[in-house]
Amino acid sequence: MKEFTFKINGAEYKCAVEEIGDGKAKVTVNGKNYEVETGEAQPKIAAGKTVVNAPKPAAATPAPAAPKAEPKPAAAPAAGVQVKSPLPGSVIKVLVSEGQAVKRGDTLLTLESMKMENAIMAEQDGTVKQIAVSAGQNVMQDDLLVVLG
């Protein structure tokens, strides 16, 4: 049996590969057994044994240890000016609330990207109609952050 420890998105997974063969592998992830497809048929071998010229199995992606709360489906954006993320990152702080009046240049939220904090500012005067993100949330470039009206 070959054992590994993986860290994925901050969560640690203890994995053991018990047997590989016939396009499948028997693995244990955090004490739960899985049979995963490797995508390639090959002779059956015990983990830790070496077979010369045998294709290597594809890496298994472990399932999360505990189910997390499902994200709420995104509500349709409110009508108004959409403030979108200029780059991928993580929302550190949301500094406004819905219904709050803002002036051009006011900081709406702080976004961390590549270990730098970026102030996301209002591009015009208005009222915050919708906040589409929360602190700690990861966002991609062009994801909706705030709607101003």
Compute the distance between CA of residue 18 and CA of residue 104 in angstroms, rounded to an integer: 60
117 lies in some domain: yes
Residues 105 and 129 grouped into a single domain: yes
Same domain, 102 and 55: no
Give the pLDDT mean for 48-76.
Answer: 52
Q: What does the pLDDT read at residue 100?
A: 95
Residues 6+ apart with CB under 8 A from 61: none
Tell me which residue has tokens 């051009």: 104
Shared domain for 57 and 90, answered yes or no, is no
Could you tell me which residue, 105 or 77, shows the higher pLDDT? Answer: 105
Predicted confidence band at 102 (pLDDT cuts at 50, 70, 90)?
very high
User: Against a cut of 0.85, is the pTM above it?
Assistant: no
Residues contacting 18, CB < 8 A, separation 6+: 1, 25, 26, 27, 28, 47
* DSSP state at residue 98: T
In a domain, 124, yes or no: yes
Instruction: Note the pLDDT of residue 129.
Output: 94
pLDDT at 41 over 60: no
Helix (H, G, I), strand (E, B) or coil at 22: coil
Residue 34's pLDDT band, with cuts at 50, 70 and 90, is confident
- Asked if 52 and 16 sit in the same domain, the reply is yes
Question: What mean pLDDT value characterizes the chain?
Answer: 79
Domain that holds residue 102: 81-148
CATH number of the domain enclosing 97: 2.40.50.100
Residue 44 is given by DSSP the state -
E-strand ranges in the chain read 2-8, 11-21, 24-29, 32-37, 45-46, 81-84, 89-94, 101-102, 107-113, 116-121, 126-131, 138-139, 144-148
Query: How many structural domains does the chain have?
Result: 2
The answer to whether residue 122 sits within a structural domain is yes
Model confidence band, residue 70 (pLDDT cutoffs 50, 70, 90): very low
Residues 138 and 86 in one domain: yes
**What integer pLDDT is reported at residue 64 of this predicted model?**
59
pLDDT of the residue at 52: 47
